[in-house]
Structure 1
Amino acid sequence: MRFVPIERVEHGMMLAKSIYDYETRTLLREGKLLSDEIIVRIRERGYPGIYIEDELTKDVVIQDTITAELRNHAVEALQELDLEEAVNVAESIVKQLMEAKTISLDMLDLRTFDDYTFRHSVNVAVLSVVIGMGMGYTNEELVDLCSAAVFHDLGKISIDKAILNKPGKLTPEENELLRSHSQRSYDMLKEKWNIPARVKAAVLSHHENEDGSGYPNGLTGDKIHPFAKIIHVADVYDALSSDRAYKKAYTYSESLEYLMGGCGTLFDQQVVRAFMDKVPVYPKGVTVLLSDGREAIVVENHLGSPLRPTVRFFDGTDLNLNDSSVGMNITIINQVNTQTIDEQEMIEFEKERKSREIKTILVVDDMVTSIRSVKAALDGLYKIIAVRSGSEAIEYLQKATPDLILMDILMPNMSGIEAVRVIRQRFPGNIPVIFLSSASDVQTILECKDVKAADYIVKPFKVNYIRERVAAVLGENE
């Protein structure tokens, strides 16, 4: 089977996985042949895509991490605010994951806006348990961790859906209300004598950041409960990779980049490392774009090489990107995602950006092709100054101060990290730096955080993605 984005679903395709509504009722059963009318109904309900069975991928088996029945049962318990049953569900989730011979995290959870909060909580619970297993937690610890993850967003039930799904920018009052959900979740649990204190602590603190910039209490480092750190990573990853009324979904690779870029400031580095060891970047069945321009379907992932799975082309031939004979000349550019930003939306985005004072970005990269890619993405929105080395960047900074530096890492004579260390010593003002690099190992990420990098983007990048990250660092996002 394989996953097909809704825009690519065609008449006559066969459904491989049943689709449920927000009340966990079966809308369409697996094996159903899709008509044009059914496809329209699926699209109108807001589903991002479906799994189909076809000859090309009939040998590709994608298993649920937990059974669909258990997932639906968890949603029902949350909808009915049956906290006792939700704890029983948490125990069942841990039991299924512990009994699994191999844990598969390849199945995409198909959600609509209506059931997002409940299914998101279940996804976060599953991801949290998998991370906890990777960190060596006991069965009792895993059950409490899973319970906390199931409960982490309970407080959103008391917040108006119009605010939760608001497509535009929240007012300060609305934002404050939304940020209150972790406290509200805790308040719903604090008098429950049968719920352990560490479950309540994790629920309260799941939006705390390592550097103290989180909420509700601005806790730092070791003051944050370990369960909360795990739920924080799982929560952000699932939220980023989901379509919402106010944003398009990041691909899984982009969501992982965000986690890596936040190591040490937003997220605990050990938790992110455990996450990277367990969660595939490109789930089986998704279509990806390769660096040679071809599209292919991921058919197998390889432990320890999350960026280089085995893929299948549409002529039926397979290519193991982890095979040393392939080398590094073919890579995955990104997951194919047809949920692109509307053209008019992008026109308005650029019009608004151009109406502001033009900011200057210094791009430091020894590769002409990389500089061209950055210019293609950002030129017209910002003034782009490009130099080819760290020493040239330092020379430029003696004359002018940019608003942002986009710095490559792997450069001759002086690496990007070394260049930033010099810049931090010689030039006051702490100019924000975003590193751009094809390297994505944890050690490199940590070295970037050590020089106070504002963000980290893995090459190659998509135009809309780098625009979003740059705008965020410059304080231009909502």
Structure 2
Amino acid sequence: MRYISIEYAKPGMMLARSVYDEADRVLVGAYNELTEDFITKLAKRGFPGVYIEDELSKDIIIQETISAELRNYAVRSLKECNIDATLDIAKAIVDQIMNSRVISLDLVDLRTFDDYTYRHSVNVAVLSTVIGSGMGMNSQELVDLCASAILHDIGKICIDKNILNKPGKLTSEEYDVIKTHARLSYDLIKEKWNISAKTKNGVLFHHENEDGSGYPLGLEKNNIHPFAKIIHVADVYDALITKRSYKKAFSLAEAIEYLMGGCDILFDRKVVETFLDYVPVYPKGITVLLSDGREAIVVENYKHSTLRPKVRLTTGEEINLSDETKNRNITIIGIQGEEIAVGEDLLQHEARRHFGKKHILVVDDMVTNLKTMQGILENDYKVSIVKSGQQALNFLERVMPDLIMMDIDMPDMDGIETVEKIQEKYGTQIPVIFLTALADEQTVQRCRKVKAKDYIVKPFKPVYVLARIVLALEE
């Protein structure tokens, strides 16, 4: 079987998997032929695609990580806020994953806009369990982890849906309301004697960051519970790759780049590395676009080589991209039908919401770094570049940018000293993101002292930089 985006579906194609609605009713059963009417209705409901079977893909077996029945039962239980049922579901999820021949996530979840919150929680539970298994957790630990992941967002039932689903910029007050969901989720389960302390910790602290910039307590590194570290990675990944009614999804590759870029800042590096081993960038059955212009279906993924799977061309010829002795010059450049959010779409959306291009000042003593940042930003932002802290101070006497990207390690006056001088004169009205190769504790503390919006460790991924800029400007 293979997966196709809904816009590539055609009448007469044979469905390989049933499609369900939010009430667990079969909309179109497996082994039925698609009709024009079915395709139109699925598209209107927001389904991103379907699985079909044809001659080219009939021998590609894509194993369900968990059954559709269990997934839909979990969604119903969450909608009903049946916390006790979710504990049994957690055990069932772990049992099904551990009984699988291969612990790898290949199946694309077919969900609509309307049931995002609940299916997101189930996906995070599956992802977290796979990560935990890869990190060597025993069965009971996996059940506790899975339960924590299922329940991590349950507190959102207490938050106004108009805030949760708001397509525009959140006010600071609305963002503060959103941030209460971790504690609200914890409050719903804290008195439950049959839920372990580990599970409760995972729920409460799943938005803590490695550098201490998260919430609700601003915990750092080893003070964050391992369950919370795992759920954090799974939660962010699933949110990034999911299309919502008001935003497009990150591409799978871009979401991976975001996780990699956030290692040791937002995410635990070991958790991200384990995630990369078990969650393929290009799931089996996906149609990808190759750098030589050809299309191919992903046939098999390889641990430690998730960016270079085995693929099958439309002619039937197979190419093992992980064999770089033969196929070094061929890479995957995209997925058929994929709408990419980072870059043009996401940043144009950002620009529209802020009524024109934002102005970013980049400060770095290295010309190559300035040119790199200019190349990343110039299509979507107005960019000015200066080579020293003093030049930055002189620039601000004439122009006030919307954001400053500041290198730290500069001669004469380092970046943090420069920001201190800026704040002495202008206050904290201009947000600052530090770009640095320094990630020691002393530097981090100095960045916090000047209330930096963010800091990004070099070398960085462009996708990660762009996403963090959008977040800084959104606030």
TM range (shorter): 0.7 to 0.9
Say if 1:166 and 1:245, in contact at 8 Å, map to a contact too: no
2:467 aligned residue (466, 469, 474): 469
The CA distance in 2 between the partners of 1:38 and 1:107, in whole Å, is 22
Change (3 A) 1:377 1:3: farther
Provide the residue aligned with 2:45 in structure 1: 45
Provide the residue aligned with 1:98 in structure 2: 98
Structure 2: which 5+ runs fail to align?
396-402, 420-431, 445-454
Say if 2:133 and 2:142, in contact at 8 Å, map to a contact too: yes
2:410 aligned residue (393, 409, 423): 423
Q: CA deviation at 1:433?
A: 6.0
Q: CA deviation at 1:171?
A: 2.5
Change (3 A) 1:377 1:11: farther
Deviations along 1:277-305, whole A, 9 cap, x unmatched?
21111111222222223332211111221
Say if 1:375 and 1:384, in contact at 8 Å, map to a contact too: no
State the one-letter code of the partner of 1:428: G
Say if 1:434 and 1:457, in contact at 8 Å, map to a contact too: no
Tell which deviates more after alignment, 287-296 or 63-72. 287-296
Change (3 A) 1:427 1:203: same
The CA distance in 1 between the partners of 2:352 and 2:155, in whole Å, is 37
The CA distance in 2 between the partners of 1:80 and 1:118, in whole Å, is 10
Deviations along 1:64-95, whole A, 9 cap, x unmatched?
11111211121122222222221111111111
Say if 2:251 and 2:339, in contact at 8 Å, map to a contact too: no
Provide the residue aligned with 1:310 in structure 2: 310
Deviations along 1:333-386, whole A, 9 cap, x unmatched?
23344435699997675566684663344797979xx96x9748724632366x
Q: Does residue 273 of structure 1 match 2:260?
A: no
Say if 2:389 and 2:415, in contact at 8 Å, map to a contact too: no
Structure 2 counterparts to residues 328-407 of structure 1, below 5 A: 328-339=328-339, 349-350=350-351, 355=356, 358-361=359-362, 375=375, 378-379=378-379, 381-383=381-383, 396-397=387-388, 400-401=391-392
Deviations along 1:95-129, whole A, 9 cap, x unmatched?
11112221130101111122111111111111111
Say if 2:347 and 2:470, in contact at 8 Å, map to a contact too: no
Q: CA deviation at 1:42?
A: 0.5
The CA distance in 2 between the partners of 1:354 and 1:79, in whole Å, is 38
Q: CA deviation at 1:160?
A: 2.8
Change (3 A) 1:53 1:423: farther
State the one-letter code of the partner of 1:166: K
| SS across alignment from 2:308 | strand
| SS across alignment from 1:155 | helix
Change (3 A) 1:269 1:285: same
Q: CA deviation at 1:158?
A: 2.2
Change (3 A) 1:310 1:114: same
The CA distance in 1 between the partners of 2:89 and 2:17, in whole Å, is 22
Change (3 A) 1:108 1:46: same
Provide the residue aligned with 1:321 in structure 2: 321
The CA distance in 2 between the partners of 1:184 and 1:380, in whole Å, is 38
Q: CA deviation at 1:458?
A: 7.5
Instruction: Give the TM-score of the pair, scaled to structure 2.
Output: 0.82
State the one-letter code of the partner of 1:358: H
Say if 2:47 and 2:112, in contact at 8 Å, map to a contact too: yes
Change (3 A) 1:23 1:292: same
Q: CA deviation at 1:52?
A: 1.4
State the one-letter code of the partner of 2:283: P
| SS across alignment from 1:113 | coil
Say if 2:107 and 2:283, in contact at 8 Å, map to a contact too: yes
Q: CA deviation at 1:197?
A: 1.6
| SS across alignment from 1:306 | coil
Change (3 A) 1:455 1:251: farther
Provide the residue aligned with 1:195 in structure 2: 195
Say if 1:260 and 1:456, in contact at 8 Å, map to a contact too: no
Change (3 A) 1:179 1:315: same
Say if 1:16 and 1:31, in contact at 8 Å, map to a contact too: yes
Tell which deviates more after alignment, 284-293 or 249-258. 284-293
Provide the residue aligned with 2:147 in structure 1: 147
Deviations along 1:191-234, whole A, 9 cap, x unmatched?
11111122112111111111121111222222211111111111
The CA distance in 1 between the partners of 2:136 and 2:412, in whole Å, is 41
Provide the residue aligned with 2:65 in structure 1: 65
Tell which deviates more after alignment, 217-226 or 202-211. 217-226
Deviations along 1:4-31, whole A, 9 cap, x unmatched?
1122222222222111111222111111
The CA distance in 1 between the partners of 2:183 and 2:94, in whole Å, is 26
Provide the residue aligned with 1:454 in structure 2: 456
Change (3 A) 1:100 1:299: same
State the one-letter code of the partner of 2:469: A
State the one-letter code of the partner of 2:240: L
The CA distance in 1 between the partners of 2:465 and 2:7, in whole Å, is 24
Q: CA deviation at 1:130?
A: 1.0
Deviations along 1:243-295, whole A, 9 cap, x unmatched?
11232111221111111111111111111121112111111122222222333
Say if 1:261 and 1:456, in contact at 8 Å, map to a contact too: no
Instruction: Give the TM-score of the pair, scaled to structure 1.
Output: 0.81
Deviations along 1:129-177, whole A, 9 cap, x unmatched?
1111111111111111111111111111222333222211223332222
Q: Does residue 252 of structure 1 match 2:252?
A: yes
The CA distance in 2 between the partners of 1:456 and 1:25, in whole Å, is 49
Say if 2:297 and 2:313, in contact at 8 Å, map to a contact too: yes
Change (3 A) 1:365 1:139: farther
The CA distance in 1 between the partners of 2:129 and 2:107, in whole Å, is 16
The CA distance in 1 between the partners of 2:349 and 2:227, in whole Å, is 41
The CA distance in 1 between the partners of 2:303 and 2:473, in whole Å, is 39
Change (3 A) 1:377 1:421: closer
Say if 1:252 and 1:282, in contact at 8 Å, map to a contact too: yes
RMSD: 3.3
Change (3 A) 1:405 1:323: farther
State the one-letter code of the partner of 2:470: A
Aligned-residue sequence identity (percent) comes to 47
Change (3 A) 1:171 1:383: closer
Change (3 A) 1:143 1:311: same
Q: CA deviation at 1:427?
A: 3.2
Say if 2:209 and 2:266, in contact at 8 Å, map to a contact too: yes
State the one-letter code of the partner of 1:182: A
| SS across alignment from 1:47 | coil
